[in-house]
A and B are shown apart, each in its own frame.
Chain A
Amino acid sequence: MGGAISITGMGVICAIGNDSQSVLDSLKRKESGIGPMKYLQSVHTDIPVGEVKLSTGQMRQMLGITGDNPVSRTSVMGAIAVREALSQAGIKNLEGKRVALISGTTVGVMDVTEQYFERMKTEPELQYLPHSNECGRSTHEIAEYSGLGNARCCTICTACSSALNAIMLGADMLKNDEADIVIAGGSEPLSRYHLNGFNSLMILDRQRCRPFDETRAGLNLGEGAAFVVLEKDVPDALAYVSGYANRCDAFHQTATSKDGDGAYLAMSGALAMAGIRPEDIKYINAHGTGTPDNDASETAAFRRVFGDRLPDMSSTKSYTGHTTSASGSVEAVICILAMLNDFVPASLGWSKMIPGGYVPTMGRSGADLDYVMCNSFGFGGNDSSMILSKNRPSGEDAPIMDESRVRVAARKVISDDAELALLKEYLSPMETRRMGKIMKASLLSAFEAMKEAGLEKPDAIVAATSKGMLELSNMFLEEIAQNKEELLKPTLFMQSTHNTIGSAIAIRTGCHGYNITYSQGDDSYYWAERDARMLLRKGEAKAVLVCSFDENLLDGRTKDFKAESIIYTID
């Protein structure tokens, strides 16, 4: 058990470079990669984006992918970053090693689905394409294109915190001796789907984003992929993962709490695991999207953790755009580049302080960065923070309790339309008005299971889904097609990320604890149950709620569904 979690390789592709070296060069030259869209097909050409400066075809070529089957940008960007990471780690022979590939994504293969959405309805030969947002598929493709065909694959879908959560899972698996080598990170392409979704939420700036500036008016979407190779106890590694935490704001699906509760808890948790004080942190790579909401609430959380003495802080989304599900690993790689090259990346676009806020750094060289903090926050208030260190931490972990002490305290399945009326006992019509059947069934199964177990609030929530919020995603795709990307309903988009249900349970139960959603086809539940058992055995929770859900559609609407909630406890 234990052992320092060592980062032995890293790879990245994003708007400011196709590999680590070119990303480093752009950061040092303070050159942003945000500009007019070139590869994404959308009517909203006035919206600036941070695109990878390669077509999907060029990336296929780089990877030697032949044939003319459509391939998602998620898969090719991911494979390019994984290949770079493996090459830097000097890993050639994986024979006999237990290897896992963990990727964070929420768009998944949606960029392909949306291109063929209309044609898929009538052309049977296109039916093999994913008529769903099965994220796990992109992770299998990344493994295939990067020579990791035999790796165990796992996909985490917690919106914009996905990739940082993937690195956390990788670190946990090494600590628990479940793998020898883990390649963890995330990949997210630009898609018409989420560009229109963010546009419907009115949080896209028509100019370059200005994180932490008083006049900030929203974010710029970006795309990219980044992965790190994690191994245990390697001396002189690139960097070490010394602390991390995932917590839930449990406030609103798309808005953040005023005091940044989730962000505060995540940063505090990461510091506690690393066993260091706030003043030990030398640089913070903030989530800093540039939306009025995020930056205000992240600032409030900084105030609670660091008081008046905030370390150098910047948002590198001013270079890359917000690479959403990939942002956690893209920015973790940027943090490692900063540590290795003794510099602090500048925040671009800033000129005027938020009243009571902080001045982000304009960049600094000759900085000795022992400890850096990387923040990554997602929809549903899914807030993660990670501390990376230059020097090898002691790596002592708490002992884990025996598997035989884990109990199933309650289990409840909801799969019948007629049962959904029971939700009235728990929620008002105002609270249920936006919910589709799968959301109602999941919440009802969670409430009923908690009642049976005599549990008021779980300590952690883990969700599992193969296809995600299928009906809502299809309705939003349909709207995009019908309305030609104009006047779209934010209500549909805001509930369409895979972690909507995990977040909704947290909001309704007030659970600020760990909150992760897995989407790996038929293995989704395996990963969720594994996670719940480990949380209990490590003493991080006394009761964990695991909710698995999926639905099938007929003519774009829910045909049948099944939601199951299980309460796991420890003696």
Chain B
Amino acid sequence: MEELILNLKEQIIDALNLEEMTPDQIDNDAPLFGEGLGLDSIDALELIVILDKFYGIKLANPAEGKAVFKSINSIADYIKKNRTK
């Protein structure tokens, strides 16, 4: 799980252009959208691309992402349960 979380954070930093951040600066439980990290709807779409590209998970509807993308932990859990690669 720890390795998955580290990889995931690195993928997020790269895809979301969070150049000035390091993986340890992103709290595993903190909200990613709104008050937390402050991501927006385009970031949600980039997260969907990450799930597809690296883990073989397809989300057909951006609305499905809402529950999944709450925090790093929630994404990692979802990947663990649904990954196809």
Contact = CB atoms under 8 A, between A and B. Distances in A.
Interface in B61-77: 61-63
A491 B46 contact: yes
Given A201-B45, A255-B40, A487 B17 contact: no
A202 interface: yes
A255 B46 contact: no
B41 A489 contact: no
A434 B18 CA distance: 9
A491 B48 contact: no
A491 B41 contact: no
B30 interface: no
Nearest to A488: B49
Given A434-B17, A489-B15, A494 B42 contact: yes
B63 to A, nearest CB: 8
Contacts of B80: none
A210 to B, nearest CB: 15
Contacts of A252: 40-41
A487 B53 CA distance: 7
A429 B18 CA distance: 8
Contacts of A494: 42
B10 interface: no
Interface in A183-215: 200-202
A463 B46 CA distance: 29
Interface residues of A, number: 19
Interface in A252-268: 252-255
B19 A490 contact: no
With most chain A CB atoms within 10 A of its CB, the pick from B17, B19, B45, B49 is: B45
B17 A491 contact: yes
A257 to B, nearest CB: 12
B2 interface: no
Contacts of B49: 200, 487-490
Interface string B17-61: 111100000000000000000101110011011001100000001
B19 A254 contact: no
A62 interface: no
Contact of B38 (A217, A430, A487): A430
B66 to A, nearest CB: 13
A217 B60 CA distance: 11
A487 B52 contact: yes
B6 interface: no
B16 interface: yes
Contacts of A530: none
A243 to B, nearest CB: 33
A439 to B, nearest CB: 12
A11 to B, nearest CB: 37
A252 B61 CA distance: 20
Contacts of B53: 487
A202 B20 contact: no
Contacts of A217: 61
Contacts of B45: 200-202, 490
A433 interface: yes
With most chain B CB atoms within 10 A of its CB, the pick from A253, A254, A488, A491 is: A491
A243 B45 CA distance: 38
Given A429-B20, A433-B19, A490 B40 contact: no
B42 A254 contact: yes
With most chain B CB atoms within 10 A of its CB, the pick from A430, A488, A489 is: A430
A302 B53 CA distance: 40
Contacts of B16: 433, 491
24 contacts: A200-B45, A200-B49, A201-B45, A202-B48, A217-B61, A252-B40, A253-B42, A254-B41, A255-B40, A255-B41, A433-B17, A434-B17, A487-B52, A487-B53, A488-B49, A489-B15, A489-B46, A489-B49, A490-B45, A490-B49, A491-B16, A491-B17, A491-B42, A491-B46
Interface of B: 15-20, 38, 40-42, 45-46, 48-49, 52-53, 61-63
Given A202-B61, A433-B17, 6 more contacts: A200-B45, A201-B45, A217-B61, A292-B63, A430-B38, A491-B16
Please list the 10 inter-chain residue pairs (A to B) with the smallest Cβ-Cβ separation, ordered nearest first: A433-B17, A490-B45, A429-B20, A202-B62, A487-B53, A255-B41, A434-B17, A490-B42, A487-B49, A494-B42
